[in-house]
Amino acid sequence: MTQTNKPAAPRKSPRSVALILSLALLVGGLGVLAAVVHFTMPRGGQLASSSSAIGGAFTLTDQTGKPFTEKDLQGKPSLVFFGFTHCPDICPTKLFEITQLLDTLGPDAARVNVIFVTVDPARDTTELLATYLGSFHASIRGLTGTEEQVTQAMRAYRAYGRKVPLDGGGYTMDHTTFVYLMDRQGQFVSTFDVAREPARAAADLRRFL
């Protein structure tokens, strides 16, 4: 009997193995995100199949020192955004886009809650929030609190915030960049795209007034 020697399978390089593992982790991570949030795509944002997945009880303080809870969101649709005042680009850009949206809404801006929740309560005091938000639309409310209170708010919204050390000392924050749209009952509706032409974003938001 003649034995045929099959050629050995090519060995994968360490780089190829690392790439395969990275892709597997990415796919797994996206699967977890999809399981938690489970979005579909309507006009103006991403609609959650389960409105109870995002939102819930929290107790924070606004930039004037006034207590603010999830009950203060009820009665108006709300835009909720998590960030921090030392953010170099994403946060000021989002807040500027929200300001343009509110300017476009005109008098209807008073019929919307707009909430900026810090993920960096160690630095973002009520006084600093008041100064920082002075550069944006006057109706935007900044919220802060203790580490525990802010963590509770982030958990309620499935938001993310993590300190990232900087070379030479100090830190920045890695954080969720979604703008959440809540309805007049304080229930999650969708993420909301504020990076569009302001008239289009305003037309979408007016559907929830």
- What digits encode the pLDDT tens for the residues 48-62? 445 558 999 999 999
* Residue 135 neighbours by CB under 8 Å, 6+ apart: 92, 95
Residue identified by tokens 């919220």 is: 143
How far apart are alpha carbons 69 and 57 in whole angstroms? Answer: 7
Residue 53 has a pLDDT of 84
Q: What is the pLDDT of residues 164-190, one digit of tens each?
A: 999 989 999 999 999 999 999 999 999
Higher-scoring residue by pLDDT: 35, 110: 110
The predicted model scores a pTM of 0.77
Residue 153 has a pLDDT of 97
Q: What average pLDDT does this structure show over 10-26?
A: 43
CA angle 189, 190, 194 (to 5 degrees): 130
Q: What is the pLDDT of residues 66-79, one digit of tens each?
A: 999 999 999 999 99
Give the CA-trace dihedral at 129, 133, 134, 135, to 10 degrees. 140
Residue identified by tokens 């974003």 is: 201
* Residue 120 neighbours by CB under 8 Å, 6+ apart: 84, 85, 86, 161, 173
Instruction: Give yes or no for residue 156 having a pLDDT over 80.
Output: yes
Q: Number of helices and strands (H, E) in the chain?
A: 5, 11
Beta pairing, strands 188-192 & 179-182: antiparallel
Give the CA-trace dihedral at 103, 107, 113, 119, to 10 degrees. 20
- Residue 101 and residue 111 in contact, taking contact as beta carbons nearer than 8 Å: no
With a pLDDT cut of 70, the percent of the chain lying above it is 75
The size of the chain, in residues, is 209
Instruction: Give yes or no for residue 31 having a pLDDT over 80.
Output: no
Strand order in the sheet with 140-144: 39-40, 45-48, 188-192, 179-182, 78-83, 113-118, 140-144, 59-62, 67-69
Residue 46 has a pLDDT of 42
Q: What is the pLDDT of residues 117-146, one digit of tens each?
A: 999 999 999 999 999 999 999 999 999 999
- Residue-averaged pLDDT of the chain: 83
Residue 52 has a pLDDT of 57
Res. 39 pLDDT band, cuts 50 70 90: very low
Instruction: Give yes or no for residue 21 having a pLDDT over 50.
Output: no
- Residue 117 and residue 80 in contact, taking contact as beta carbons nearer than 8 Å: yes
Res. 65 pLDDT band, cuts 50 70 90: very high
How far apart are alpha carbons 209 and 172 in whole angstroms? Answer: 36
Q: What average pLDDT does this structure show over 7-35?
A: 41
